[in-house]
Amino acid sequence: MPASPPRPEPFAPQASGAALEDLRRRLRATRWPDAPQDAGWSLGTDLGYLRELVAYWADGFDWPAQELALARIPRFRVRLGGLGIHFAHVRAAAPAGPVLPLVLGHGWPDSFWRYVKVVPLLTDPGAHGADPADAFDVVVPDMPGYGYSDRPAGPPLDSVAVAGLWAQLMSVLGYERFGAAGGDIGSHVARYLALDHPNRVVAVHRTDAGVPLYAGDPAGLTPEERAWLRDGAAWAAAEGAYAAVHRTKPQTAAVGLGDSPAGLAAWIVEKLRAWSDCGGDIERSFTRDEILTDVTLYWLTGTIGSSMRMYRANAAIAPAQLARRVEVPSGFALFPADLLRPPRAWLERTANTVHVSEPPRGGHFAAFEEPELYAQELRDFFRPYRRAVASTAR
């Protein structure tokens, strides 16, 4: 007798009072390090800012209210590849034409949280001053080891394997053809969706081109591409220590980050500030409640170690995989404060690039920082591909 197909079940987590009291107790008992006078953010997370944030986390932050707000987005869990996968799934509110299913991929240090602001703009554009004909059915999964998805008990999954899971997820939801978009590791996953499932992915949109890697003769690159490779190496030397830890010794860091919520906040908050278009003031891009929602998701799910281990898996992806060219129509939005902005020549070398835009504001977390700009970018890019799909899960 054939096995029954996977069946998504509604999911609405609620943290226990004991878990929240334990968190507050740990925050109040933080053993603070010293810091050189006037160090600010130059050596990592600013200690003065972190102390204020931790005090608010312990005595002012209302996690149940944030949990309730997140619960307004329909969320589910389904078993795929032996793992429980958590995802948001929101259908187009008032479609005025062909509805394009769209799977969105997050990265680190986040989860489905990255897209909570943009989901209503994509599913109900008419309610936000845009054309109702641009409505999407939106699927936002947590990668294994992130958020409310299961942590792999064995070796971590790489982006190729996650792309395979997302293809399965879209089949479970009844979507034969769909668009894919993402940033950070989610960009990597979207790339492999397009590479390994080109008959299903009608177009792919990314906010970056990944870490610059090139195994050929640099003489064959344009001057702009060679400069980009040099910039990437310089960035890795100055800013890439976190990634080296994730790739090589994630378990060592996980002990401290999984035991100390203040340490966890320090590890994540520094990246939110450095990678966003905040001009050095993190609260220009994120409110304290938004920052702590991201960090608290990591704390309550215990996923900081498993999220870091994915870097190790991705570092082992074969060079031949990294060298593959995406032939599915590809679009890129290069936000001004993102980490590494590739030149057009590189995008055309590595993908069938049909669209490149440079929005005026936004950084690495563009979907959260500038949801209106990001939503309009996706509407504009995917509009020509809507009639290539027929949603079968209405």
Is 124 catalytic? The answer is no
Cis peptide before 98 (omega within 30 of 0): no
Structure-token pair, residue 216: 């050929």
Closest CA to 308 of 264, 356, 357: 264
Q: Out of 137, 158, 184, 208, which one is annotated catalytic?
A: 184
Rounded CA-CA distance 331/319 in Å is: 23
CB 210 within 8 A of CB 132: no
First-to-last CA distance in the chain? 29
Rounded CA-CA distance 14/36 in Å is: 40
Q: What counts of helices (H) and strands (E) characterise the chain?
A: 16, 9
Sheet harboring 136-141: ordered strands across? Answer: 9-10, 75-80, 83-90, 136-141, 100-105, 178-182, 201-206, 326-333, 351-357
Question: How many Cβ atoms sit within 10 Å of the Cβ of residue 119?
Answer: 24
Is 86 catalytic? The answer is no
Helices 250-259/241-248 angle, 10° precision: 100
Is 205 catalytic? The answer is no
Rounded CA-CA distance 228/249 in Å is: 28
* Neighbouring-strand partners of residue 76: 10, 87
Q: Out of 49, 146, 175, 311, which one is annotated catalytic?
A: 311
Question: How many Cβ atoms sit within 10 Å of the Cβ of residue 294?
Answer: 20
Work out the burial of residue 299: count CB atoms within 10 Å of its CB; fewer than 13 is exposed, 13-18 middle, 19 or more buried: buried
Transcribe 138-176 into DSSP letters. EEEEPPTTSTTSPPPSSSPP-HHHHHHHHHHHHHHTT-S
Q: Out of 86, 89, 205, 364, which one is annotated catalytic?
A: 364
Rounded CA-CA distance 291/289 in Å is: 6
CB 189 within 8 A of CB 106: no
Which residues are part of the catalytic machinery?
184, 311, 364
